[in-house]
């Protein structure tokens, strides 16, 4: 039994917990006597009862002696009382908002959400977010998911509220991401890099490609963990080869190169064997097919102790789930890491990465992808440095603000004025382009901004447009307000692009249009950086036929229609990864917690559920898998699927019917 004591004004709240369930709530006051601090009044009610009842204080002392006591804050008086009665105690950080509702939610280091001057739990923070955004408008599911993801990454409720609160405008809080400048006039010759001669003689590369140069500058050859996002055929694989071969030939450990598909693994195996086979052995680990057919026979060397192992995610994961160990791994390359967002395989790759980090804590991890939504968030979660190549001449900040339509012009004016008051290192003022969806709206916004603004659209005469252009180029006006339809013809050197609307008429902008318009922000000859600001109205639409709302479109455009990489977990996925983690660490409590904390998705707390149903049992130093849980680990199953199969087997006697239903996940992909 556990007892949590929370100091309140003039008294202490006492929460009695048994088997992870609140069994009773109490309130105690203490007074200073000649013998020291002693309990004066103890009111107590069992869970489900309505009223607090007076209880003898000696009963309270007996309860304390029979329990593990945790204080939510240091309190000299109560500590003195406990010490007088030789009651051992510790400290625990709890969510204050949960305590008000008689709930107990521990907040472990690094797990709380900062809110004003305290830490609260994630669920309470989400409730507060939903309450606040109710004042702004009706949010769609995609935008709600994005806001909650911001909460998960930044762990700062005040910062996240800065993007949704109608009264705030703080660009430090509204920053969505920054596309950094990648101007590379000349890349290095490979032989100029500190790479071992055996690798240089076989690499067949004279000069680095731009993304390879960026990776080296980000610490590739110094053992830094990197997330590399660049287009197909831009040289990402060779980045993995450089790091892996450099580490191996310098005695820092073997190379593990993981891909999602067997065909891709076979291809990499053949290429690496041809390229490096004369100086090291290359092996293939893709799992074993259950079908005994000639075309399903394994190819390649299967030596798991080879210096360079090419494997599929499931092939390596199955090897670990069967209780085997990978030793002396110095480099882990995860190709196509965007698989993390796959609804079926995402949690498995997430778990595999965590298990590999646990087994090889000194290894260098490289994550490669051509397409990732919100790569800076994924890099942060993976504890890696982002290397992204997009040819931008100056950095581009992109901001997203959720705001009602009636407040947009107020924000536009503030953004325009602040930018115009600044000057770049090239001595140019910060001017703006405001994009909206109609000619009439151009005039409404320009009139509201005053003499510093001018409308600019196809309805103006050529002479009127030339006058606006001349005023902008000579710095006489701070902004032009134009339509998306004229975006391709707008050629103003603006520091800032503001989206009052994300529509062209009544139709939403395409990703191509959005990026073309955003690209107007920041010119290398004028500015030190560019800024894009989207003012998105929750729940807004410009057509009855649209199923998306403006804030959902905003997120889609910023992502380039790519979903954010966020593995999803329910009871099934959480239990599947838990049993695999137990196999790898032997079930030791501290080691299991270490692996679980390295998983980037939000897993469910399934241990009590699995203990109750006989999949696990407790032991002194942690937990142990019972036979069915070992089956789960080896065959990529969770508790829900196993329970379904158990029920099916009980109700069927025909072995063929049972086999047909056993649609277990293959380890070969």
Number of neighbouring beta carbons within 10 Å of residue 228: 31
Confidence band, pLDDT 50/70/90 cuts, at residue 253: very high
Give the tens place of pLDDT for each residue, 576-623: 999 999 999 999 999 999 999 999 988 888 999 899 888 999 998 999
For 463, residues 6+ apart whose C-beta sits below 8 A from its C-beta are: none
pLDDT for residue 296 is more than 60: no
Instruction: Say if residue 319's pLDDT is above 50.
Output: yes
Phi/psi of residue 116, nearest 5 degrees: 60, -110
Q: Is the pTM above the cut of 0.85?
A: no
- Among 325, 383, 379, CA closest to 598: 383
pLDDT of residue 151 exceeding 90: no
Residue 561, Ramachandran bin (φ over 0: left; ψ between -120 and 50: alpha; else beta) = left
Cβ atoms 331, 366 nearer than 8 A: yes
Q: Count CB neighbours of 355 within 10 A.
A: 24
Helix spans in 313-404 (H): 313-321, 346-359, 375-381
What are the E-state strand segments in 425-558?
Answer: 432-436, 453-456, 479-483, 496-499, 503-504, 507-508, 530-536
Question: Which residue from 4, 70, 89, 82 is spatially nearest to 38, judged by alpha carbons?
Answer: 82
Q: Please, are residues 84 and 76 in contact by the beta-carbon 8 Å criterion? A: no
Instruction: Give the torsion sign (CA, 601, 607, 610, 616).
Output: positive
Sign of the Cα pseudo-torsion (339, 343, 347, 352, in order): negative
Which residue from 398, 423, 421 is spatially nearest to 554, judged by alpha carbons?
Answer: 398
**Distance between CA atoms of residues 552 and 561, nearest Å:** 11
DSSP string, 432-455: EEEEES-HHHHHHHHHHHGGGEEE
**Is beta strand 118-120 parallel, antiparallel or unpaired with respect to 113-115?**
antiparallel
Cα→Cα distances 475→223, 428, 482, 523, 533, Å:
48, 8, 17, 15, 21
Beta-carbon contacts of 132 under 8 Å, excluding residues fewer than 6 positions away, are 161, 164, 165
Say how far apart CA 220 and CA 123 lie, in whole Å: 38
pLDDT of residue 248: 97
Local confidence band at 288 (pLDDT 50, 70, 90 cut-offs): low
Give the rounded percent of residues in the chain with a pLDDT score beyond 90.
43
Higher pLDDT, 133 or 222: 222
Q: Convert the pLDDT of each residue in 351-393 to its tens digit.
A: 999 999 999 999 999 999 876 767 888 999 999 999 998 777 7
Higher pLDDT, 401 or 181: 401
Please give the residue that has the higher pLDDT: either 490 or 462.
Answer: 462
State yes or no: pLDDT of 291 exceeds 50. Answer: no
Q: DSSP secondary-structure letter at 288?
A: -
Neighbour count for residue 456 (Cβ, 10 Å): 27
Measuring CA to CA, which residue among 613, 606, 615, 611 is closest to residue 578?
A: 606
Look at residue 313 and tell me whether its pLDDT is greater than 90: yes
- Give the model's pLDDT for residue 665: 43
Length of the chain: 669
pLDDT band, very low/low/confident/very high, at 662 (cuts 50, 70, 90): low
Place of tokens 């130093």: 621
334 or 525: which leads in pLDDT: 334
Sign, Cα dihedral of 210, 215, 217, 220:
negative
In the predicted structure, residue 658 carries a pLDDT above the cut 90: no
CB atoms within 10 A of CB 596: 19
The DSSP letter of residue 338 is G
Residue 624 forms beta bridges with which residues? 617
Alpha-carbon torsion (517, 518, 522, 524), positive or negative: negative
Structural domains in the chain?
A: 2-100 (3.30.420), 113-168 (no CATH), 190-388 (3.40.50.300), 396-559 (3.40.50.300), 571-661 (1.10.10)
Predicted confidence (pLDDT) per residue in 45-56, tens digit: 876 677 778 888
* DSSP state letters, 118-136: EEE-HHHHHHHHHHHHTTT
Select from 374, 408, 437 the least CA-distant residue to 536: 408
Q: Which pLDDT tens digit goes with each residue over 473-526?
A: 899 999 999 987 565 556 688 999 999 999 888 888 877 678 778 878 988 789
- Find, among 288, 196, 293, 291, the residue nearest to 246 by Cα: 196
What are the tokens at 78?
A: 């109560």
Average pLDDT, the chain: 85
Rounded to an integer, what distance in angstroms lies between the CA atom of residue 346 and that of residue 451? 53
d(CA 475, CA 422): 12
**Structural contact between residues 140 and 102, judged by C-beta atoms closer than 8 angstroms:** no
Lowest pLDDT segment from 285-289, 340-344, 498-502, 650-654: 650-654
């Amino acid at each position: 039994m556990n007892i949590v004591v929370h100091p309140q004004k003039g008294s202490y709240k006492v929460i009695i917990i048994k088997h992870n369930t609140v069994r009773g709530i109490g309130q105690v006051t203490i007074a200073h006597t000649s013998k020291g601090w002693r309990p004066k009044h103890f009111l107590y009610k069992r869970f489900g009862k309505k009223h607090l009842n007076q209880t003898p204080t000696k009963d309270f002392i007996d309860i304390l002696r029979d329990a593990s006591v945790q204080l939510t804050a240091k309190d000299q008086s109560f500590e003195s009382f406990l010490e007088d009665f030789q009651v051992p105690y510790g400290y625990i950080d709890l969510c204050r908002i949960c305590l008000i509702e008689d709930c107990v939610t521990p907040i472990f280091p690094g797990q709380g959400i900062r809110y004003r001057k305290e830490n609260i739990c994630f669920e309470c923070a989400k409730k507060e977010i939903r309450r606040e955004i109710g004042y702004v408008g009706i949010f769609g599911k995609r935008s709600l998911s994005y806001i909650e993801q911001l909460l998960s990454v930044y762990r700062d409720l005040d910062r996240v509220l800065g993007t949704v609160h109608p009264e705030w405008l703080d660009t430090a809080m509204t920053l969505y991401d920054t596309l950094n400048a990648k101007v590379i006039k000349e890349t290095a010759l490979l032989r100029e890099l500190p790479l071992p001669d055996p690798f240089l003689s076989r690499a067949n590369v004279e000069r680095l490609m731009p993304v390879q140069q960026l990776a080296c500058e980000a610490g590739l050859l110094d053992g830094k963990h990197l997330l590399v996002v660049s287009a197909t055929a831009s040289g990402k694989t060779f980045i993995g080869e450089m790091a892996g071969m450099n580490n191996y030939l310098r005695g820092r450990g073997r190379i593990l190169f993981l891909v999602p598909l067997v065909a891709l693994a076979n291809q990499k195996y053949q290429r690496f064997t041809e390229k490096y086979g004369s100086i090291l052995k290359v092996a293939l680990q893709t799992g074993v097919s259950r079908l005994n057919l000639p075309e399903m026979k394994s190819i390649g060397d299967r030596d798991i102790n080879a210096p360079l192992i090419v494997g599929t995610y499931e092939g390596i994961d199955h090897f670990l789930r069967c209780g085997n160990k990978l030793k002396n791994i110095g480099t882990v390359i995860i190709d196509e890491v965007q698989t993390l967002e796959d609804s079926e395989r995402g949690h498995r790759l997430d778990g595999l990465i965590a298990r590999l980090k646990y087994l090889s804590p000194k290894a260098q991890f490289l994550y490669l992808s051509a397409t990732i939504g919100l790569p800076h968030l994924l890099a942060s979660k993976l504890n890696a440095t982002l290397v992204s190549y997009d040819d931008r001449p100056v950095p581009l900040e992109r901001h997203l603000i959720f705001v009602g339509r009636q407040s947009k012009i107020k924000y536009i004016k503030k953004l325009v004025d602040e930018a115009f008051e600044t000057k770049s290192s090239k001595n140019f003022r910060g001017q703006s382009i405001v994009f909206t969806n109609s000619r009439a709206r151009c005039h409404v916004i320009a009139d509201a901004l005053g003499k510093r603004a001018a409308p600019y659209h196809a309805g103006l005469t050529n002479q009127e447009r030339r006058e606006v252009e001349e005023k902008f180029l000579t710095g006489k006006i701070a902004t032009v307000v134009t339509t998306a339809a004229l975006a391709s013809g707008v050629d103003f050197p603006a520091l800032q692009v503001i989206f009052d609307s994300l529509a062209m008429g009544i139709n939403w902008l395409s990703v191509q249009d959005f990026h073309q318009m955003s690209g107007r922000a920041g010119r290398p000859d004028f500015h030190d950086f560019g800024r894009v600001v989207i003012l998105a109205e929750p729940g807004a639409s410009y057509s009855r036929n649209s199923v998306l709302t403006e804030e959902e479109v905003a997120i889609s455009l910023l992502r380039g229609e790519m979903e954010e990489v966020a593995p999803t977990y329910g009871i099934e996925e959480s239990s599947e990864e838990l049993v695999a983690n137990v196999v790898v660490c032997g079930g030791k409590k501290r080691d299991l917690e270490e692996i679980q904390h390295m998983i980037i998705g939000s897993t469910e707390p399934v241990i009590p559920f699995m203990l109750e149903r006989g999949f696990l049992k407790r032991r002194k130093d942690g937990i142990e898998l019972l036979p069915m849980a070992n089956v789960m680990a080896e065959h990529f199953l969770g508790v829900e699927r196993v329970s379904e199969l158990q029920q099916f087997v009980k109700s069927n006697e025909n072995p063929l019917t049972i086999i047909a239903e056993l649609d277990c996940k293959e380890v070969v992909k």
